[in-house]
Amino acid sequence: MPTPQDFFDIDIRVGTVLSAEPFARAVKPSIRLAIDFGPELGIKHSSAQLTVHYTPESLVGRQVLAVTNIGTRNIAGFTSEVLVLGAMPAATEVVLLKVDHPVANGVRIG
């Protein structure tokens, strides 16, 4: 059974999307993101299945929440370094989680 410490071991941070572009090589419709997580973590990249509700243009400048310490994943030749978090009302639908007020990039969620 998971413990509270298991949750605290997951590093969830706030970052700002610097760039976003369609990821045509991905098997499932996706967007490639470059996200600024502040001076401690820097810029990280992610492939996220966000195409139902978001365009690449709508994501630039938006703050997102992401898991930053679960390793990398190769997706169609692209290294995805973080897992962007969202609610999933359906298997192919992601609604991004967000903070209510802007905070500094790299702020930890706990």
Q: Find the distance separating the first CA and the last CA of the chain, reported in whole Å.
A: 20
pTM of the entire predicted model: 0.94
Q: Under a CB-based contact definition with an 8 Å cutoff, are residues 31 and 53 in contact? A: no
Nearest 5°: phi and psi at 18?
-90, -40
pLDDT in tens, the chain (110 residues): 989 999 899 999 999 999 999 999 999 999 999 999 999 999 999 999 999 999 999 999 999 999 999 999 999 999 999 999 999 999 989 999 999 999 999 999 98
Residue carrying structure tokens 């990398």: 72
**Residues whose CB falls within 8 Å of the CB of residue 1, separated by 6 or more in sequence, listed in order:** none
| Chain centroid offset of residue 14 CA | 9
Residue boundaries of the structural domains of the chain = 4-99
CATH homologous superfamily of 4-99 equals: Nucleic acid-binding proteins (2.40.50.140)
pLDDT at 110: 82
